[in-house]
Amino acid sequence: MHYLVMLVALVADVGYAQKFDYRVLATTKTSTMEKEMNEAAAGGFVFGGVMGGETGAGGKEMVVIMGRDVAAPGRRSYKLLATSRTGTMQKELQQAGDEGFHYRGQTVYQSGFGGHEVVIILEKNSESAKRVEYKLLSTTRTGTMQKELREAGDNGYRFLGVMVGKTAMGGKEVISLLEKVPAP
């Protein structure tokens, strides 16, 4: 019993008294989500995670969790890219990469209009806005994805995430997102 009390005292002293502040953002529109994320960022909150799906009261929503991070300096801004066409997403991703936006999360979101969109969340830190090159790979065959990922890796691209999305043509694709930070 004596050792248990000492262990509890040690655990309590290690830093478990730290507090965290969170914001839960939920909406059916990606443009509204981007606006709300940037408003939260102005208050010192940073992106934590994203999920698209059905919520209890809201129906089909995108939910983002943001937390206040006092240890992460710099003002942040967010950009949400949403499309059902991978070619459009590649173009928009690269434009954002040229502006110094970096990947933070992704989801497949079923909009209120019944469409499925791939949503990618990007973040720009005012203190480190390095340019980044993005590569979006999409295919209906996992074997093809394996080959394309190996080739991209050989060319210096780092894997960020994978999802299965519905294409504008009605099929399903495996979509992989990769990045490469160019040499200065």
Write the pLDDT tens digit of every residue in 103-116.
999 887 766 555 66
The whole-number pLDDT of residue 56 equals 72
Q: What are phi and psi of 16, to 5 degrees?
A: -75, 0
Residue 141 lies in a domain: yes
Residue 171 lies in a domain: yes
Residue 100 lies in a domain: yes
What is the spatial distance between Cα 89 and Cα 112, in angstroms, rounded to a whole number?
A: 20
The answer to whether 173 and 165 have CB atoms below 8 angstroms apart is yes
The whole-number pLDDT of residue 138 equals 86
Residue 159 lies in a domain: yes
Percent of the chain with pLDDT over 70: 77
The more confidently predicted of residues 37 and 1 is 37
Number of domains in the chain: 1
pTM over 0.75: yes
Residue 144 lies in a domain: yes
- Domain interval for residue 60: 22-68+75-180
- The gap from C-alpha 176 to its chain's centroid, in whole angstroms, comes to 13
Residue 13 lies in a domain: no
Beta carbons within 8 Å of 183's beta carbon, 6+ residues apart:
none
Beta carbons within 8 Å of 125's beta carbon, 6+ residues apart:
74, 75, 76, 102
Residue 12 lies in a domain: no
Residue 3 lies in a domain: no
